[in-house]
Amino acid sequence: MIKSSQCAKNIILFQKLLIEYGTSYLCGVYGDFTPPATGNKISFMALLYNRVAHIELKQQMLESNEKRITLSFYEYFPIDDPQQFRDMLFAQLSILNVFGRIYIATEGINAQISVPDFNMEAFKFFINSVVKSEQYIDLLTGVKQLRLNIAVDDDGKSFWVLKIKVRYKIVADGIEDENFNMDKKGKYVDAKQFNTMSQNPDTIIVDMRNHYEYEVGHFENALEIPSDTFREQLPMAADLLKENKDANIIMYCTGGIRCEKASAYMLHNGFKNVYHLEGGIINYVNNIKEAQLENKFLGKNFVFDDRLGEKIGNEIISTCHQCGKPADTHTNCVNSGCHLLFIQCAECAVQFGGCCSTECFNIIQLPEEEQKLLRKGVDKGQNIFNKSRTRKRNIK
């Protein structure tokens, strides 16, 4: 981990380089960088991957008093060389001591991260230099920039390591139609517009998240697309709504990335009046707080970091998967050979020791070597962080 004083020096130097030489030189930085006008070699982070054990990094994060801000962002824009872009991003975000998970593809970027509070302005400066966006207009400067969705319920302990991966797509959508593109997408609606349109009984509100997300929280009268993956949801949504191609349809998701693509898919399939919630649930909640609007979201918003959820509404709309009592706390089974994601109340957490079943509870009582033998050679398939309804068997 970089010390704050050194990090501050790196940020100042980094900003000067961006201003003086632009991002084109930095896109080639994999180690030492020599600005052409100076001839002086400057050592940036040569390592482009983490070299410290995750358990050690997590412990460092938990013991740190450093204030951090959890946020997410995305942008659909063409990236000619995703690997080069990934390496440049890793080098520069490491300087800023950013943690989190980022996916890069030829279609754009998808990120969930945490940033040290004192580095936030430097991060904004950098990310808006390399990701050109028209999502949001800064009211003070009038400059178009990337929308950063700040977490609703945040203790700064969401991430402890930086992972940046190159993928085929930033959202796995299953779309192979060569004529599909993101240029034609639905219209944004902000929180106020969403609340107004949702009062019309003819407006169809569609949740483009997975079942386990919908289960703990969703908007009033929202339609669930009963699927476990986004790639399955797209054709299902088009089929379920095929008789409503002229209706007003508002699509939403956690941070906006899935519903934006879903709105484009629906328009591509002949739907006429498709909208999507600007910045997703996270941006909606921040907006209603700022504008003191009525909250139309019920329950909890599932998030993809160590928190596993943000409390939004006061109600609990889901139940414990083991005893059936009201509960909205997601957890992963502590048995390393299972790791099922499920909802567990406090009483069952004690009774089952954080496990999803008596079988898993009995396994974790065994010596570690015996547990390893049980896991050895076993193909866990989708059991790791599995969210499918089909795996929520009799977990009692």
Q: Which two tokens stand for residue 40?
A: 């002086």
Q: How far apart are CA 313 and CA 176, in angstroms?
A: 38
Round to whole Å and give the CA distance between 276 and 15. Answer: 35
Q: 3-state DSSP call for residue 394?
A: coil
How many whole angstroms separate alpha carbon 138 and alpha carbon 202? 34
Backbone angles phi, psi at 166, to 5 degrees: -90, 130
List 253, 259, 320, 345, catalytic entry = 253
* Nearest C-alpha neighbor of 13 from the set 45, 59, 57: 45
Task: Give the H or E element holding residue 374.
Answer: helix 368-375
For residues 28 and 106, the answer to whether their CB atoms sit within 8 Å is no
Closest to 215 (Cα-Cα) out of 335, 326, 351: 326
Establish whether 27 is a catalytic residue.
no
Phi and psi at 193, nearest 5°, equal -65, -40
Three-state SS at 202: coil
The CA distance from 122 to 124, in Å, is 5
How far, in Å, CA of 114 to CA of 117, rounded?
A: 9
Of 385, 364, 297, the closest CA to residue 101 belongs to 385
Tokens at 18, concatenated: 């961006």
Any idea which residue has 């004083």 for tokens? 5
Give me the active site residues, please: 253
